[in-house]
Amino acid sequence: MSSAAEAEGGGGGRERLFFALWPAPALQEALARLGRRLVRKGGRRLPPEAIHLTLVFLGPVDAARRACLERLAGEVLAPPFELLLDRAGAFPRARVVWVGPGVTPQPLARLEAALREAAARCGLETDTRPFVPHVTLARRAAPVPAGPLPEPVRWPVADFALVRSRLRPGGAGYEVLRRWPLRA
C-alpha cells in the first residue's frame, strides 16, 4: 500500500470517514477566536475551516459501506436543536483542548445513537466509549482548567454531515461530502 493510499483511509479504495456537526463559517470563525483566547501559546490551534463536532468516527470505509451509510443516514429522525457550548475542557492524555455543552441535548444524543446504529448495521465497528460531545480547538496543547465559559457560544444545529479526513503533515484536512437536514 502506498503511503498516499494509507493517508486516504487504509488503502484498498477506502476513505477515512466520520459523521459530524459542521458549523457555518461565521461560527467556525467565532470558535477559532475562542481557541485563541483559551490557548494563548503553544499547541496547534485548528484553523477555522477544520472546526467541527464529531458524532461518530468511522475509520476506513469502502464504497459499498459508504453507500450503506448514506442510505441509512437519510432515514435518521432527530429534530433540529440548539447546542449551547458553555464549557471548556481538556483531554490531557491526547493533549486536546475543547469546548462543549455542559448538558447534552436529547436530540444530539438521539442523533449520535442513530448514526452509531447505522454504522453497526453497515458492518462498521465504532468506538464503544460513551459519547462526550466536544469541539476540539487545539491539539498538542497544555490542558486548560475545565470549567464554564464566560461567554457561551450558541449553535443552531439544523443538519449533520458525512466528512472525509485526509491526513497531511500539517494536520488533517477535512472535506464535507454530504449533509442531511435534521427532521423529527
C-alpha cell at 110: 438521539
57-70 as b/e: b if 16+ CB within 10 A:
bbbbbbeebbebbe
Instruction: Report the nearest approach of ligand 2AM to the CB of residue 60 (Å).
Output: 11
Quick one: which of 8, 9, 17, 18 contacts ligand 2AM (CB under 6 A)? 18
Phi, psi of 159 (to 5 degrees): -155, 175
Kindly tell me which of 60 and 183 has the beta carbon lying closer to ligand 2AM: 60
Q: Rule CB under 6 A: say whether 54 interacts with ligand 2AM.
A: yes
Binding of ligand 2AM by 19 (CB under 6 A) = no
Q: Does 57 bind ligand 2AM (CB under 6 A)?
A: yes
Burial class (CB in 10 A: 0-12, 13-18, 19+), 40: exposed
Q: Is 105 a catalytic residue?
A: no
Shortest Å, Cβ 157 to ligand 2AM: 16
Instruction: Fill in the per-residue mask, 94 to 113: x = in contact with ligand 2AM (CB under 6 A), - = not in contact.
Output: --x-----------------
Instruction: Please state whether 58 falls in left (phi above 0), alpha (psi between -120 and 50) or beta.
Output: alpha
The verdict on whether 138 is a catalytic residue reads: no
Euclidean distance between CA atoms 139 and 26, whole angstroms: 22
DSSP assigned state of 12: T
- C-alpha closest to that of 151 among 42, 37, 28, 62: 37
Q: Looking at beta carbons only, is 79 or 140 nearer to ligand 2AM? A: 140
Residues 141-170 that bind ligand 2AM (CB under 6 A): 165
Q: Which of 52, 65, 66, 164 is catalytic?
A: 52
d(CA 50, CA 81): 22
Please give the residue ranges that form the binding site for ligand 2AM (CB under 6 A). 18, 54, 57, 96, 127, 136, 165, 172
Residues marked as catalytic:
52, 134
